[in-house]
Amino acid sequence: MALWSSSSSPKGIVVTFPVLLLTGFAVILFCFFFISNLSSCSCPVTPRIVVSGTAANNGVHIGEGVLTNKDDVEWVKDQIKANGLQMHENVLRKGINPRTRAQQLEDLRQFKGISHYEGPEDQNRTAFPCPGELLVEEHHSNYGEPWAGGRDVFEFLAEFSHITPDAHVLEIGCGTLRVGLHFIRYLRRGHYHCLERDELSMMAAFRYELPSQGLLSKRPLIVKGEDMNFSKFGSEVHYDLIYASAVFLHMPDKLVWVGLERLSNKLKPYDGRIFVSHNIKFCSRLGGEECTKRLTNLGLEYLGKRTHDSLLFNHYEIWFEFRRSKP
Ligand SMILES: *[C@@H]1O[C@H](CO)[C@@H](O)[C@H](O)[C@H]1NC(C)=O
Ligand SMILES: *[C@@H]1O[C@H](CO)[C@@H](O)[C@H](O)[C@H]1NC(C)=O
């Protein structure tokens, strides 16, 4: 699987043959330097101890089985082939009655097809009743991209920040836990933290996602707030990974910088990583030099841009990587 490339290529541009040839040559040259740079990386990053199952795959470090690998994909393709499976129109058939989320919600409210206790709610035997709209997973459609993309983000971040289940992770804006669920499952109890401002998203996280995924015992620390105030997370914890997926681009630049200032000393020096998705206009709007200066003042260093391909749909993530370069 192609894990990451250095940049995307513009579509629909007509190029002449010599230009193509030249470009090809430049790309090969670039790749050569890029790859040799990677393999002889002299960055002061010491790889963490990785338990068995570690393998080298095209020079890319494989952590603790986080990445879906080529064998996994081949295996699932074989299963589909061996069973002669194909996609068909999803229509009413024996024992199967496909519903939209809205139809399912209506059925649920009328207790259609569900065994339920009659009578007043004081007889309810449900330990933690969940709102119907969450039960039919309306919140899985709250994002532009499919819910499954959360796994892509997790695999990428876990892999490229070289974390283990012992790591401490902070997400800025975890929403309904589309990505966070995967971290919560992977990390030790209490090691996942998040600052989120949207109340409905937090309700979906606490009332549906965590209980339904059996992850309450992981005790994630999810705090409501929108002012980049991290005081509730304590001052002792140092994070191995801090990430913001499609969050900084929706915030005023000034607030992003306030956040970075408060986060810089919460990040583990050298090995710890900050990953920011989509763009870093809070930085580029200042101009390269000015941005570098401000980052340096905070003890931070920009390491570069990475892209990551989705496993299930034609889509790639763009991530910007930072580290703390001062003890
Ligand atoms: C159902 O019972 C639980 C536990 O006793 C209670 O907390 C909850 O409020 C009840 N739900 C409703 C809808 O009455
Ligand atoms: C952050 O929030 C805490 C309360 O949780 C408050 O005491 C503190 O003043 C806030 N800090 C800032 C900088 O807003």
Nearest 5°: phi and psi at 269? -60, 140
Tell me: pLDDT of 183 over 70.
yes
Query: 47: Cβ below 6 Å to ligand 1?
Result: no
- Interval between CA 274 and ligand 2 midpoint (Å): 23
- Interval between CA 296 and ligand 2 midpoint (Å): 26
- Nearest-atom number in ligand 2 for the CA of 227 is 14
Query: What is the pTM (predicted TM-score) of this model?
Result: 0.80
pLDDT at 290: 96
Tell me: pLDDT of 55 over 60.
no
Tell me: pLDDT of 102 over 50.
yes
Rounded-to-integer distance, Cα 229 and Cα 195, Å: 9
Q: Which amino acid is at 325?
A: S
For the structural domain made of 143-324, what CATH number should be given?
A: 3.40.50.150
Residue whose CA is at the smallest distance from ligand 2 atom 13: 229
Strands 300-309 and 316-324, bridge-based pairing:
antiparallel
The pLDDT of 82-96, averaged and rounded, is: 94
Residue whose CA is at the smallest distance from ligand 2 atom 12: 229
Long-range contacts (CB closer than 8 Å, 24 or more residues apart) made by 219-222: 219/189, 219/190, 220/180, 220/184, 220/190, 220/192, 220/193, 220/194, 221/190, 221/192, 221/193, 221/194, 222/174, 222/193, 222/194, 222/196
The pLDDT of 134-163, averaged and rounded, is: 95
Tell me: pLDDT of 96 over 60.
yes
The 3-state DSSP class for residue 242 equals strand
Tell me: pLDDT of 34 over 90.
no
- Work out the pLDDT band at 288, boundaries 50, 70, 90: confident
How high does pLDDT run on average in the chain? 84
- Work out the pLDDT band at 121, boundaries 50, 70, 90: low
Is 198 exposed, middle or buried (CB count within 10 Å of its CB: 0-12, 13-18, 19+)? Answer: middle
Tell me: pLDDT of 156 over 60.
yes
Nearest 5°: phi and psi at 72? -60, -45
Is 124 exposed, middle or buried (CB count within 10 Å of its CB: 0-12, 13-18, 19+)? Answer: exposed
Which residues does residue 300 pair with via DSSP β-bridges, in sequence order? 324
Give the model confidence (pLDDT) of 161-182 as tens digits. 999 999 999 999 999 999 999 9
Rounded-to-integer distance, Cα 101 and Cα 93, Å: 19
Kindly write down the DSSP assignment for every residue of 203-218, as one continuous string: HHIIIIIHHHTT-GGG
Of 125, 142, 144, 124, the residue nearest 133 (C-alpha): 142
- Nearest-atom number in ligand 1 for the CA of 129 is 11
Query: 225: Cβ below 6 Å to ligand 2?
Result: no
- Interval between CA 165 and ligand 1 midpoint (Å): 35
Tell me: pLDDT of 45 over 50.
no
Query: 126: Cβ below 6 Å to ligand 1?
Result: yes
Residue whose CA is at the smallest distance from ligand 1 atom 12: 121
Structure tokens given for 97: 């009655």
165 within 8 A of 239, measured Cβ to Cβ: no
Rounded-to-integer distance, Cα 323 and Cα 308, Å: 19
pLDDT at 25: 53
Which listed ligand is nearest to 234 at the C-alpha?
A: 2
pLDDT at 149: 96
Residue whose CA is at the smallest distance from ligand 2 atom 1: 229
Which listed ligand is nearest to 229 at the C-alpha?
A: 2
Give the model confidence (pLDDT) of 223-235 as tens digits. 999 999 999 999 9
- Work out the pLDDT band at 302, boundaries 50, 70, 90: very high
Rounded-to-integer distance, Cα 79 and Cα 297, Å: 54
108, 122, 126, best to mutate for ligand 1 pocket (most atoms within 8 Å of CB): 126
Query: 129: Cβ below 6 Å to ligand 1?
Result: yes
Query: 123: Cβ below 6 Å to ligand 1?
Result: no
pLDDT at 64: 56
Inter-CA distances, 222 with 77, 143, 175, 187, 230, Å: 38, 20, 10, 15, 11
- Work out the pLDDT band at 119, boundaries 50, 70, 90: confident
Q: CATH 3.40.50.150 in the chain, residues?
A: 143-324
Sign (positive or negative) of CA dihedral 120, 126, 127, 133: negative
Query: 232: Cβ below 6 Å to ligand 2?
Result: yes
The pLDDT of 93-121, averaged and rounded, is: 89
Rounded-to-integer distance, Cα 167 and Cα 239, Å: 7
